[in-house]
Structure 1
Amino acid sequence: MKNILVFLLMTLALDAHAETGGWVTRDGKPVPNSDAMKSINGFGGWLVVTPDQDWEEKWNTSPETIPNFAEAKDVSYGEKLTILAFYINPKTNASGELGVICDIKVTRPDGSSSANAKGVKCAAGKLQGNPRNIRLTSAVIKYIGEKGDPPGEWIVEVTLTDKVRGTAIPLKTHFNLRSSHINSDAARSGVSVM
């Protein structure tokens, strides 16, 4: 049975609160920061782990369509995951250009590093549309549970830095690699993006 979670983003407005510029509800109330979703100094970031192999097709739709991604917390060997980092309200320079870089770290359950990249160019160029629209970074992380990978909790950390604003947002999430088969549908919940 697939557990569907009515996620907070269903109630998020594309317009951000004038003071914070970060994640807010439709009635303008700031969304409390969590490890995976934060707003700092008007800049917002959100980290999602999804098993959806069609995530790109879901994302590349008209602005009127609200994509719905399954969210994975428990996965088995052989399953593929995609880790997506979203952002809102980047500041632009005098030429209207934005610059967002990412530091990406994935840590295995034994404490060893699976990935560790700093200063990855995640978004650049002329900002098109409302700055408060939710945007996907170019830093898309793919994962597959392979034989030899240690079972347990894998930690994903992505720091989004708005270079123009001078603000960094540390985001963190995790997933559990199970050594035995689990009911994958029961380990996922749906998340929506507006």
Structure 2
Amino acid sequence: MKWCLTLLVALLPLAAHSAWIDSTGKPIPDTENMRSAGDFGVQILLTADEEQFRQTWNSSKTPPKLSTTNTVRLGGSVSALLIFHGCSPNSGGVCDVASEFILEAPDGTKTPAGDGPVWSGKPMQQRLLQLGLTSMTVGFDKTDPTGDYKIIANIKDKVSGRALSVVTRLKVTK
């Protein structure tokens, strides 16, 4: 997950209207946790401390040092956050991006894990990434199985009709 953080920091000032790009302006191929459709792009990240992540994101430090994870112990919790760019405004100048989260257990069982607005407001400035409003937090108690989980987020720009699905993996340990 550290490479994901490094990639995110490198991309922070460089999100463009033609998918994700690297520091030289070259397009980055989609991965399961970072996808794009035209100028609309979404990335899913996990953090053990959503409040701290949001405070760091909103700080004046450029680039911010964001704390992400891909593991959690029984008794702990993680939050899935969405970072995006390129939403389309409606005739009133407002974007309408929504998401739904799904938790897939090690045995393949899928459980709906909430939904909500990623963004309902004016689009961000060109070439900037936006931290989504909604998130999903999941806790694991002693009765939950350990193993490899997936968190799936289905995101839709309701104005343009573009839809993306991103996946991040989570290892739950004792």
Return the TM-score normalized by structure 2: 0.86
Q: For residues 30-61 of structure 1, what are the alpha-carbon distances to aligned partners after superposition, in whole Å with 9 as ceiling and x for unaligned?
A: 11100001111210000001123522221221
Kindly indicate whether the alpha-carbon contact (under 8 Å) linking 1:90 and 1:131 is maintained by their aligned counterparts in 2: no
Specify the SS of the correspondent of 2:66.
strand
Partner residue of 1:86?
Answer: 83
Note the C-alpha offset of 1:177.
0.7
Partner residue of 1:57?
Answer: 55
Kindly indicate whether the alpha-carbon contact (under 8 Å) linking 2:47 and 2:68 is maintained by their aligned counterparts in 1: yes
Pair 1:121 & 2:120 matched: no
Structure 1 residues 24, 71: CA separation in 2 closer, same or farther (over 3 Å shift)? same
Identity of aligned residues (%): 25
Pair 1:111 & 2:108 matched: yes
Structure 1: runs of 5+ lacking an equivalent: 180-194
Partner residue of 2:142?
Answer: 147
Structure 1 residues 115, 67: CA separation in 2 closer, same or farther (over 3 Å shift)? farther
Number of positions where the alignment pairs a residue of Structure 1 with one of Structure 2: 172
Q: For residues 37-93 of structure 1, what are the alpha-carbon distances to aligned partners after superposition, in whole Å with 9 as ceiling and x for unaligned?
A: 11112100000011235222212212x432222332222112221111111111112
Pair 1:172 & 2:171 matched: no
Structure 2: runs of 5+ lacking an equivalent: none
Specify the SS of the correspondent of 2:54.
helix
Distance of 1:126 and 1:71 partners within structure 2: 27
Q: For residues 88-145 of structure 1, what are the alpha-carbon distances to aligned partners after superposition, in whole Å with 9 as ceiling and x for unaligned?
A: 1111122211010112111222333343445x32211233x41431111122111222
Kindly indicate whether the alpha-carbon contact (under 8 Å) linking 1:77 and 1:178 is maintained by their aligned counterparts in 2: yes
The 5 A counterparts of 1:56-75 are: 56-62=54-60, 64-75=61-72
The 5 A counterparts of 1:33-52 are: 33-52=30-49
Return the TM-score normalized by structure 1: 0.78
Structure 1 residues 161, 28: CA separation in 2 closer, same or farther (over 3 Å shift)? same
Q: CA RMSD in A?
A: 2.2
Range that drifts further, 5-14 or 155-164:
5-14
Partner residue of 1:132?
Answer: 127
Kindly indicate whether the alpha-carbon contact (under 8 Å) linking 1:52 and 1:69 is maintained by their aligned counterparts in 2: no
Note the C-alpha offset of 1:15.
4.3
Kindly indicate whether the alpha-carbon contact (under 8 Å) linking 2:33 and 2:44 is maintained by their aligned counterparts in 1: yes
Distance of 1:13 and 1:4 partners within structure 2: 15
Kindly indicate whether the alpha-carbon contact (under 8 Å) linking 2:114 and 2:136 is maintained by their aligned counterparts in 1: no
Structure with the larger RCO, 1 or 2 (CA within 8 Å, 6+ apart): 1
Kindly indicate whether the alpha-carbon contact (under 8 Å) linking 2:48 and 2:79 is maintained by their aligned counterparts in 1: yes
Structure 1 residues 9, 116: CA separation in 2 closer, same or farther (over 3 Å shift)? closer
Q: Which structure would you say has the larger Rg?
A: 1
Partner residue of 1:14?
Answer: 13
